[in-house]
Amino acid sequence: TSLDYDSYVGQIAVGRLNNGKLEMNKPYSLCSIEDTIPNQKFSALYTYEGLNKIQVEEVEAGDIIAFAGIENISIGDTISDNESPDPLPRIKVDQPTVSMLFYVNDSPFAGLDGQYLTTRHLSERLNKETLKNVSLQVSQTNKKDVFEVRGRGELQMAILIETMRREGFEFMVSKPDVITIEENGKTLEPMEKVLIDIQEDKVGVITEKLSVRKGKMSNLQNHGTGRVNLEFSIPSRGLIGFRSQFMTDTQGAGIMNKLFDGYAPWFGPIPQRNTGALVSDRKGKVTTYACIGMVDRGELFINVGTEVYDGMIIGERNRDGDLNVNITREKKLTNMRAAGSDNTVTLRPPKQLSLDQCIEFIAEDELVEITPKVIRMRKMELDQNKRVKRKRREKL
């Protein structure tokens, strides 16, 4: 039912023994989706006592077990008698619905925080994840330092990114994109069935936000306990970035689960961020004087004293279109006495974005830079002159 990986024994399969017993040094048949392969032996056999995994010589029916030594085993395969194999009904694994691009970090601050940052490190770590995460698919793109990762949703991707960040990896990721299919000349996109349990007074705001994201309510149950059960059908791309909003709107008391619900014709554009980004136009350290000048331009994401570089996103503009700004500007000193008016200006605290919020915020031409210590957002093309030329070419 699940897979794990150990650097000593290799791939480990985990499941429940339905009947009979399994013994070490005895041959068994592997019933896979393609064929039945006889004469398979275990190199290690484990059972569980509480949270502890214990190596044993044999296990009996009803035990939760784990074993190693059988190559190319996958979710849904059955270990059966060697002479007369009898496979169990196969477990169906949902196909990936969301893809993201993982880049080797090439920012001016690359290598300052992370321990693993080369193409080889990134490739090995992503491929290792597929050995124990069956719903994840990793493929090489036409660029040697860019990998496409496909998974079951934005949350699964965020968990992988956060895990790698804590392990000391340094890399960049793109905005999530849904995986569409073509059928009879029509583009179909993945759908999700969303099951929600929220407070009664939060139904209006959640329904409104899901409706904007092309969600349709199919069921509502009010049990008279102060909580309401909702059921929605919504495109997978409509859920990108919604979980963090959901937790904020329900004050952490909402419960949301989702299930893959097939494919449906493309629903058209879903409203995204309608504001631009404040982009640093040079490398340096953020100053208080420069931040004062940004108060009327938008909301900042960085603190005074933060090191920035050319092309790094430092805030959200309060209107459409990106704005290149000098956030490192210092007040020029003169021999004229100042009135001290600068000291009376109170700066608003910067908005601190989580990993989920960064992934939701970025546009198609932007990336999230992940390091063990810092999460930054940046333009895909750091040089502002090249960005302008690219936009001109796209308009032609």
Chosen domain end from 152, 178, 204 = 178
Residue located via tokens 């208080």 = 288
**Residues 13 and 114 grouped into a single domain:** no
The domain containing residue 379 runs over which residues? Answer: 277-331+347-395
Phi, psi of 34 (to 5 degrees): -100, -40
**Residues 285 and 389 grouped into a single domain:** yes
User: What CA–CA distance (Å, rounded) separates 198 from 110?
Assistant: 43
Question: Does residue 90 belong to any structural domain of this protein?
Answer: no
Q: Answer whether residue 155 shows pLDDT above 70.
A: yes
**Residues 297 and 242 grouped into a single domain:** no
**CATH code, 120:** 3.30.70.870
Supply the Cα-derived Rg of the chain in whole angstroms. 26
Q: Which of 252-256, 278-282, 330-334, 379-383 has the lowest mean pLDDT?
A: 330-334
Chosen domain end from 49, 80, 111 = 80
Question: Does residue 152 belong to any structural domain of this protein?
Answer: yes
Identify the three-state secondary structure at position 303: coil
Q: pLDDT by residue (tens digit) across 167-194?
A: 999 999 999 999 999 988 899 999 999 9
pLDDT of residue 51: 80
**Residues 208 and 169 grouped into a single domain:** no
pLDDT of residue 368: 95
User: What CA–CA distance (Å, rounded) separates 164 from 173?
Assistant: 12
Name every residue whose Cβ is closer than 8 Å to that of residue 175 and which is 6 or more positions away in sequence: 100, 359, 362, 363, 364, 366
**Residues 140 and 214 grouped into a single domain:** no
Percent of the chain with pLDDT over 90: 41
Q: Total structural domains in the chain?
A: 4
Question: Does residue 272 belong to any structural domain of this protein?
Answer: no
**Residues 65 and 160 grouped into a single domain:** no
- Region 334-341: what's the mean pLDDT? 62
**Residues 135 and 231 grouped into a single domain:** no
Question: Does residue 93 belong to any structural domain of this protein?
Answer: no
Chosen domain end from 213, 234, 265 = 265
Identify the three-state secondary structure at position 160: helix
Residue type, 240: I
Contact call for residues 73 and 32 (beta carbons, < 8 A): yes
Question: Does residue 85 belong to any structural domain of this protein?
Answer: no
**Residues 322 and 391 grouped into a single domain:** yes
**CATH code, 200:** 3.30.70.240
Could you tell me whether strands 277-280 and 323-325 are parallel, antiparallel, or unpaired per DSSP bridges? parallel
* Residue of 85, 46, 87 lying closest to 64 (CA atoms): 46
- Region 154-175: what's the mean pLDDT? 93
**Residues 190 and 252 grouped into a single domain:** yes
Most confidently predicted of 70-84, 300-314, 342-356: 300-314
Question: Does residue 23 belong to any structural domain of this protein?
Answer: yes
Identify the three-state secondary structure at position 94: coil
Q: Given pLDDT bands bounded at 50, 70 and 90, which one contains residue 341?
A: low
Number of H helices, E strands in the chain: 7, 28
Q: pTM of the entire structure?
A: 0.81
Question: Does residue 342 belong to any structural domain of this protein?
Answer: no
DSSP label at residue 141: -
**Residues 204 and 160 grouped into a single domain:** no
Question: Does residue 340 belong to any structural domain of this protein?
Answer: no
**CATH code, 386:** 2.40.50.250
Identify the three-state secondary structure at position 393: helix
